[in-house]
Amino acid sequence: MTFWQITLELLHGFGLTCLLFVLTLLLALPLGLGLSFCTMSRWKPLRAVSRVFVWIIRGIPLMLFICMIYYLPGLLGNGSGNLFDSLDRYFTQLMGSGHLLYYGSFLAVLIAFVINYACYFSEIFRGGVESISHGQYEAGQVLGMTKGQIFRKVILKQVIKRILPPMSNEVITLVKDTALANVIAIPEIIKRAKDMAATQALVWPLFYTAVFYLIFVGVLTLLFGYAEKRLSYFKA
Amino acid sequence: MFLEVKGLTKSFDGTQVLKGIDFTLEKGQVLSVIGSSGSGKTTLLRCINSLETADAGEILVGGNKIFDAQDAGAGRGIPREARLSFGLVFQSFHLFPQYTALENITLAPTLRIRTLCRKRRLSRAARDELLQKATEKALELLSKVGLSDKRDFYPCQLSGGQQQRVSIARALALNPDVLCFDEPTSALDPEITGEVLKIIKELAAEDMTMIIVTHEMTFARDVSDKILFMDGGVIAAQGSPEEIFGSHENTRLQTFLTSFYSNQAGAEPV
Ligand SMILES: Nc1ncnc2c1ncn2[C@@H]1O[C@H](COP(=O)(O)OP(=O)(O)O)[C@@H](O)[C@H]1O
Ligand SMILES: [Mg+2]
């Protein structure tokens, strides 16, 4: 295999990495926001349940959690085999093409990632919201603003400014965590490099994958830096 | 009587902080509230401004009942229009950091106008005219507090005294019937308290009805029509500045004033 063929093969895997990254972000951000409201709820049962949930999810290694999501439905079900595997087969039949073999497994990984990251994001949101001085709410209240107006027009931007640094940390971690998808044989970039090492005795592509991650993380770092700069006009 | 506060009580975790506060105020008058720390001054202002819900008592403005602890709904959200009878200037300003001085003043009026226009289905042109008027009024208020040149500055670019002046303008933008101040100069360096006190004096000269919690005794004496001395959650003495700062028979008041003046006479405050 030439250098370009290998690069192309790895890029294929990296596409999957990016897809997992983007979908996780899109789903986990709103879910995390909702979850953070639950953990800050004034209704104690909801608060307790959601905090215990966050504790459990954050306490389980993501790799283990992926396996749980993938295997548990089958084990708990009527013994008809792995649910996500059946999905794989179903979609393969439907599409009639081999390259969608990982469709069901991808769904399992995505579910695990979204739940896991929603929990981390919710804690970041909660920290941000709770760090805003109570005086900001009260100033809005005495000016006759509604709770929703106070949150949207006064609190939100200050929260965003404060959570950007921890957010950028978490998002960068997410980029690298996508590699965990290879535990259930999702052909993301690391999986493809490992396969090359196994089948063609090519080891260097595995180290070459670092370049892809570095570039992606570099772009994200620039984006977060830009966002922080955009919000640097005020102190909060 | 323009403002009537009757039998206001408030407890926190079983400790009564306000033990029945009664006072009245005429339109255009200035009331100063003095008293040692922990006597309940802030709690009184917070109850009046519906940031706390009093356990008992009533508040009337111009004959309208703004608050009645007997009401079923008391505590569950005070009607917005009623709460706007009062304005409150905080000790530590609480300006909105992401908005300029001008935007801080126009934010609440703008949101009110937008809500109102949506509810009444007013035309876009009518709405824009109202918004334009709100901006003009905000600019007027900025010039009144002497900050026309700072309209596009963010709070972090303003000194403490300037921030407090913006927050006064912000409170005035909603036309409160009674404007309350909670130690408006306590967070400021001594040399710049004057610029804020000057604004309050000008408001007094324009017959703005005000309640001012303050430790600035000279200022209180000059600006007030009436003074309340609070002690342990009750009004221990009230009267004209002459009565309060003359030789009042209340010993607690005498002790408070004596210790106050001796503190001031002493060298640097520690
Ligand atoms: N939210 C609260 N919870 C519990 N205690 C409070 C609260 N707010 C005020 N207090 C208590 O009420 C008393 C009066 O406080 P405050 O009204 O702030 O006094 P002042 O403004 O005269 O210094 C103090 O003893 C204070 O500890
Ligand atoms: Mg106080």
The CATH code that applies to domain A26-186 is 1.10.3720.10
Report, as ranges of residue numbers, the positions in chain B whose pLDDT lies below 70. 72-80, 265-270
Q: Is A69 within 8 Å of A104 (Cβ atoms)?
A: no
Query: Is there a contact between A139 and B112 if contact means CB atoms under 8 Å apart?
Result: no
Per DSSP, A98 falls in state G
Q: CA B88 to CA B97: how far, in whole Å? A: 18
pLDDT attached to residue B72:
63
Residue type, B146: G
pLDDT attached to residue B268:
44
Report, as ranges of residue numbers, the positions in chain A whose pLDDT lies below 50. none
Per DSSP, B105 falls in state H
Q: Is A23 within 8 Å of A31 (Cβ atoms)?
A: no
Q: Where are the domains of chain A?
A: 26-186
Give the right CATH number for B3-92+177-266 from 3.40.50.1370, 3.90.870.10, 1.10.3110.10, 3.40.50.300: 3.40.50.300
Q: CA A120 to CA A36: how far, in whole Å? A: 10
Helices (H), A60-155: 62-76, 83-95, 103-130, 134-142, 147-149
pLDDT attached to residue B90:
97
- Spatial strand order in the sheet of B234-239: B86-89, B178-182, B209-213, B30-34, B226-231, B234-239
pLDDT attached to residue A91:
72
In the A/B pair of chains, how many CB contacts fall below 8 A? Answer: 65
Q: CA B6 to CA B148: how far, in whole Å? A: 40
Q: Where are the domains of chain B?
A: 3-92+177-266
- In this prediction, the answer to ipTM > 0.90 reads yes
pLDDT attached to residue B267:
45
- Convert the pLDDT of each residue in B98-150 to its tens digit: 999 999 999 999 999 999 999 999 899 999 999 999 999 999 999 999 999 99
pLDDT attached to residue B204:
96
pLDDT attached to residue B266:
52
Query: Is there a contact between B94 and A144 if contact means CB atoms under 8 Å apart?
Result: no
Cα of B37 vs centre of ligand 2, distance in Å, is 6
Q: Is B147 within 8 Å of B166 (Cβ atoms)?
A: yes
pLDDT attached to residue B1:
83
Contacts of A4 (CB under 8 A, 6+ apart): none
pLDDT attached to residue A185:
82
Half-sphere exposure of A164 (CA within 13 A, CB side): 20
Cα of B191 vs centre of ligand 2, distance in Å, is 21
pLDDT attached to residue B263:
73
Residues in a beta bridge with B180: B88, B211
pTM of the predicted model, to two decimals?
A: 0.88
Say which of A138, A143, A234 has its CB closest to residue B97.
A234
Per DSSP, B249 falls in state S
Give yes or no for residue B45 CB within 6 A of ligand 1.
no
B76 touches chain A (CB under 8 A): no
Query: Is there a contact between A144 and B155 if contact means CB atoms under 8 Å apart?
Result: no
Query: Is there a contact between A234 and B171 if contact means CB atoms under 8 Å apart?
Result: no
Rounded alpha-carbon distances, angstroms, from residue A226 to A128, A176, B13, B48: 20, 22, 47, 45
Q: Which residues of B touch A135 (CB under 8 A)?
A: 90, 92, 94
Half-sphere exposure of B82 (CA within 13 A, CB side): 16
Q: Where in chain B does DSSP place strands (E)?
A: 3-12, 15-25, 30-34, 56-61, 64-68, 86-89, 178-182, 209-213, 226-231, 234-239
Cα of A141 vs centre of ligand 1, distance in Å, is 20
